[in-house]
A = this chain, B = another copy of it.
């Protein structure tokens, strides 16, 4: 059904916005319903501003099941003693509810697209589809060079792609290479060829920790980025998460290849992994978006918080308060992120995908309202987001999401045995 948003603020103007077939179709001071070919569903935007929604370019959404377990522990102890043993016990059913609940939290903070990496593909895809947001999903391949494992990988990739293609275009598959240190050259070659053949995005963890990066250099004489490049994986469909320990030449190599980074400032801080060089990335023209990472290491799926953290961290790191402005980071979290996911969204403009949020201008953080983008980045909390729309569909209105009470109950029940 067509959607007509009436009397909403766009920039300095009040206007009507018509959405047809998932796209912004018309923006005008006033659109008379009787002039339209079909009667649209109308939505009153009085007292609200329309903004693009956000793309979360790195998440393990289902990890919300583990939120709050094993906090404040050293990284390897946390992974080995808490997270990995728990994850091995997770069933597809638990992951389904975790993913669906995680999507609720994203919708509440205005996220309508996510690049996700997790296990139990069929359960995850179903949850993302049902949530109403867009996903680019990758099962994380962690593999030996055993010939059988390679054949299984090939078969899994095909099965997963077929499964993803059985959904409408909101659901896409990407190829997951968990990380360089958990895969082999042979398995990465299978991933590369499959991704090339189907023009899929490759998701991986890249130079997240100093140890991983140093060990790679010591063992091979090359950085992880250089190895990915030598294997033909570093291209415009390459999305590496974190990238904290990229060298200057790694970064330039990525720029040359058109490869991209998912910058996860809060997760990087919480796990004490280090600080992504936002300033150098901007100076060199490295493409990057913002990611929340999993809820175990953030612990929010909140893009307002992520923008704020990214900007504040860039400022204090460079000792320059003009670094990473509100406008810069807002663009990174919207258009920048959608571009990495090859989605033509992140702007309120005719012809773009109709992914957007309506923010309540009476929200405390948006008052007195001297500068909306600054207020959104620095002052607002998710409570300001009244309405979230993805692909022209209303996912949240007046902060209510249909079915949320049942999903919350089911997520609690799914998580209870993990304690």
Contact = CB atoms under 8 A, between A and B. Distances in A.
Given A321-B72, A325-B72, A299 B379 contact: yes
A241 interface: no
A318 interface: yes
Contact of A75 (B271, B274, B321, B367): B321
A379 B68 contact: yes
Interface of A: 64-69, 71-75, 78, 101, 104-105, 108, 266, 268-275, 295, 298-300, 302, 305, 308-309, 311-313, 315-316, 318-323, 325-326, 362, 364-365, 367-371, 374-375, 378-379, 381-383, 405, 408, 411-412, 414-416, 418-419
Given A381-B383, A382-B383, A383-B383, A368 B313 contact: no
A65 B370 CA distance: 9
Nearest to A273: B316
B412 A69 contact: no
Contacts of A370: 66-69, 415, 418-419
Of A74, A300, A379, chain B has the most CB atoms within 10 Å of the CB of A379
Contact of A268 (B71, B274, B316, B378): B316
Contacts of A272: 315-316, 318-321, 323
Contacts of A299: 365, 374-375, 378-379
A274 B67 contact: no
Contacts of A416: 368
A367 B321 CA distance: 35
A419 B302 CA distance: 30
A210 B108 CA distance: 40
B321 A271 contact: yes
B412 A368 contact: yes
Given A67-B375, A271-B321, A272-B316, A326 B105 contact: no
A411 B269 CA distance: 36
Contact of A67 (B300, B315, B379, B382): B379
Given A316-B269, A321-B271, A415 B368 contact: yes
Given A272-B321, A368-B64, A298 B74 contact: no
